[in-house]
Amino acid sequence: MSEISTKPYMLRAIYEWCTDSGYTPYLAVKVDAATTVPMEYVKKGEIVLNISFGATSGLKMDNDSIRFHARFGGVSREIYVPVNNVMAIYANENGQGMAFEPQLGGYDDAPVASAPAPAPLAPVSSTPTLAPVPTPAPQARPAGSDGEDEQGGPDGPDGGGEPPKKGGGRPTLTRIK
């Protein structure tokens, strides 16, 4: 009994992680005679494909291949990529994902022009990294101000002073249900 490759399982897992995290999953693919992609978008024997739900139709990721329809220049095209040809799957927004060595030779062992290997991707982290939200510097109050906040008093909207400007101050989070 031959050993089953972990690669298709990893591809599906990273795809699911990207989707669940709100990221756009991209595939880097080594193009050869076994792939069906729009050749006009192939550069140096490789193509990068957006495989998000919104960019594809009928996406199927099985143990041997990845198949879907996608629009290129407004024209729907059928895409077929052998799992062996996938070089990487990653989140477009932050580059996190997984890179693989392409194992060419699925249906046809025709040679392919060599291209440099893609830059290594950062490993997928189980803990998100968040950038701090910048906090504006406190603004000086005019002389004679009694220091009341923006919600009332002489410096706020009810006190005859200038009302606070929209878009200024600290950012707020609005929960949408």
Q: Is residue 39 part of a domain?
A: yes
Distance (Å) of CA 173 to CA 36, 133, 137, 148: 45, 12, 19, 24
- Upper half-sphere CA count for residue 45 (Cβ side, 13 Å): 17
In a domain, 123, yes or no: no
pTM for this structure? 0.58
Q: If you compute the radius of gyration of the chain from its CA atoms, what whole number of angstroms results? A: 26
Listed residue (33, 32, 29, 27) closest to 14, CA to CA? 27
Within a domain: residue 91? Answer: yes
Report the alpha-carbon distance of residue 162 to residue 8 in Å, rounded: 61
Q: Is 136 contained in some domain?
A: no
- Cα dihedral 66/70/72/74 (nearest 10): 170
Per the model's pLDDT, the better-predicted residue between 19 and 127 turns out to be 19
What's the CATH code of the domain at 29? Answer: 2.30.30.220
Q: Is residue 67 helix, strand or coil?
A: strand
Q: Is residue 150 part of a domain?
A: no
Q: What gap in Å lies between CA 133 and CA 174, rounded to an integer?
A: 15
What is the spatial distance between Cα 88 and Cα 98, in angstroms, rounded to a whole number? 6
Does the residue 137 lie in any domain? no
Per-residue pLDDT tens over the stretch 118-136: 444 444 444 444 444 444 4
In which band, very low, low, confident or very high, does the pLDDT at 79 lie, cut at 50, 70 and 90? very high
| Total domains present in the chain | 1
Whether 62 maps to a domain, the answer reads yes
Express each pLDDT in 25-40 by its tens digit: 999 999 999 999 999 9
Domain-located, residue 105:
no
Domain that holds residue 58: 7-99
Other Cβ atoms closer than 10 A to 63: 12
Stronger pLDDT, 169 or 32, i.e. the higher one = 32
Q: Give the model's pLDDT for residue 124.
A: 46
Listing DSSP states for 59-77 in one string gives EEE-SSEEEEEEEETTEEE
